[in-house]
Structure 1
Amino acid sequence: MSVDFLALISVALLSSFTHCYAMCSGLNLAFLRLNAKEKSPLLLSLTYHSFRILAYIFLGLVFSSFGNMISHFSQSLLFFTLGVFMVLLGLAMFVRGNFLAFFERNFIFHFLREKMLKKFHFKGYKNAMFLGFLNGFVPCGLVYFYLALSMSQKNLFYSALIMFVFGLFTLPALLFLNFFSRFLNEKLGKIYLYLAYGIIIIYGVYYLYLALKFSR
């Protein structure tokens, strides 16, 4: 099915300066502090985030394959499930309630940041690749939204492209988080987030419409 990539870019950009900053910056900042003497910190960060994006693409392909298996039996059931999930996810992100907290619990990455990074002192480009890829698996409502979109795609290329777009357009905020995120979070943070979450809910309603359409 077709995807409005302008809407996907908007969600990624609008939410990256607040939600993504809150979810992904901890591990990233801890790693950068360990590599404070690195001669090319920007190149190190690009390496880190390139492998984060690779993890998203990998997950997109896996979820798309799973979605195709479900769609083979019932396309309307797949769209109904994704639609309900997106609406609930969007509403949960508005209120930041227990529903979202359950899916975004981050015990593994909290342990990694607080214990493993201090003990093993991850440094250099090989560790940037490892930790960046691992960062792609951080529990995050926005990642779930893009993975749900990937599941709806029959074409694996589009599934991979959806996840690439998400990763790419969260990159500016996470690369320059010390300046941009602080400024935009203070000035426009809530407005950006509400617009992004509103788009997620609209997508959910659209998928429910598709489920009704394919069930006839």
Structure 2
Amino acid sequence: MSNIDWLGAFLIGLAGAGHCMGMCGGIASAVALNGRQSSFQITLLYNFGRISSYLVIGALVGGTVASSVNVFDSTHFLTVLRAIAAVMILLLGLYLAQWWNGLLKIEKMGQYLWKFLSPVATKMIPLRSPWYAYPFGMVWGWIPCGMVYSMLSWAAVSGSATNGLLIMGCFGLGTLPAMILIGAGSAKYSQFFRSPIVRRIIGSLMIAYATYSIFLLAN
């Protein structure tokens, strides 16, 4: 992993603002309104909790795959995983550009875990204090999300638990501006990233990157 990979993860998080607003915007706004005077504090704590869950699963996935590759000494297995990661980014690009929603089928796979976690999140609302927004965000970070799954495939081939953590951390930080602004009720920011032209430009860039990655693996 290099600084370029971390920057790429950050930019994907930033570029996926429209998706983030659609997936989590409603709950982010509701949680922020829960605190009146402390709405900004609640928004920050909720998002830090959400990103913390990304860090944990990124480290787990990155470390598990790296250990498996070392134990079985299988570079072929790692190459296959890298190809899968590139395909996931390709699917994400198609989804964000609104050209094909195949990523939603993968997203639905997370529903099995989420049905056990969603009652936990529901019980936390209304928040007893602003500080409860952090654990609430940690639970909400596990909501089925195709964009998160695409980045997890990237974390899986990062080579170590630390790199997996950094990939997901940079991705999470990229999503932060959108989630903070939606928590503050910024309609203009939401409209910009949800516009068809912006989504297609972002999607096209991701598709180009994924195609280039697949080309490198094939050669």
The TM-score, its normalising length taken from structure 1, stands at 0.78
- TM-aligned CA distance change 1:64 to 1:112, over 3 Å: closer
How much does 1:97 deviate?
Answer: 4.5
Q: Which runs of at least 4 in structure 1 moved beyond 6 Å after TM superposition?
A: none
1:144 aligns with 2:149: yes
> Which amino acid in 2 is paired with 1:123?
R
Aligned residues: 207
Range with greater deviation from structure 2 (169-178 or 202-211) = 202-211
Work out the CA distance in 2 between the residues paired with 1:191 and 1:70: 41
Q: Partners of 1:199 and 1:85 in 2: how far apart?
A: 14
Matched, 1:94 2:92: no
* Paired residues for 1:73-84 under 5 Å: 73=74, 74=76, 75-84=78-87
Q: Report sequence identity in percent.
A: 25
Q: Letter of the aligned partner of 1:195 in structure 2?
A: I
Query: In 2, Cα distance between the equivalents of 1:40 and 1:34?
Result: 9
Are the aligned partners of 1:90 and 1:197 in contact in 2 as well (CA < 8 Å)?
yes
1:57-72 alignment, distance < 5 Å:
57-68=55-66, 69-70=68-69, 72=73
1:13 maps to: 14
Unaligned runs of 5+ in 1: none
Q: Which whole-Å CA distance do the structure 2 matches of 1:92 and 1:14 have between them?
A: 12
Aligned equivalents of 2:205 and 2:145: distance in 1? 17
- The aligned amino acid for 2:13 is A
Contact 2:46–2:134 at 8 Å: present in 1 too?
A: yes
Per mean C-alpha deviation after superposition, the further-off stretch among 26-35 and 99-108 is: 99-108
More moved, 161-170 vs 73-82: 73-82
- Deviation, 1:128, is 0.8
Instruction: Check 1:169–1:77 CA distance in 2 against 1; reply closer, same or farther (3 A cut).
Output: closer
Instruction: Give the secondary-structure state (helix, strand or coil) at the position aligned to 1:177.
Output: helix
1:200 aligns with 2:198: no
- Residues 71-120 of structure 1, C-alpha deviations (whole Å, 9 max, x = no match): 742222222222233323322333365523333448658x959x935x95
The AA in structure 2 aligned to 1:14 is: A
Q: In the alignment, what sits opposite 2:171?
A: 166
Length-normalised TM-score, structure 2: 0.77
**1:191–1:15 distance in 2 versus 1, CA, 3 Å:** farther
RMSD of aligned residue pairs (Cα, Å): 3.0
User: Which shifted more, 186-195 or 162-171?
Assistant: 186-195
C-alpha contact 1:91 1:201 (8 A) present in aligned 2: yes
State the Cα distance separating 1:156 from its structure 2 match: 2.7
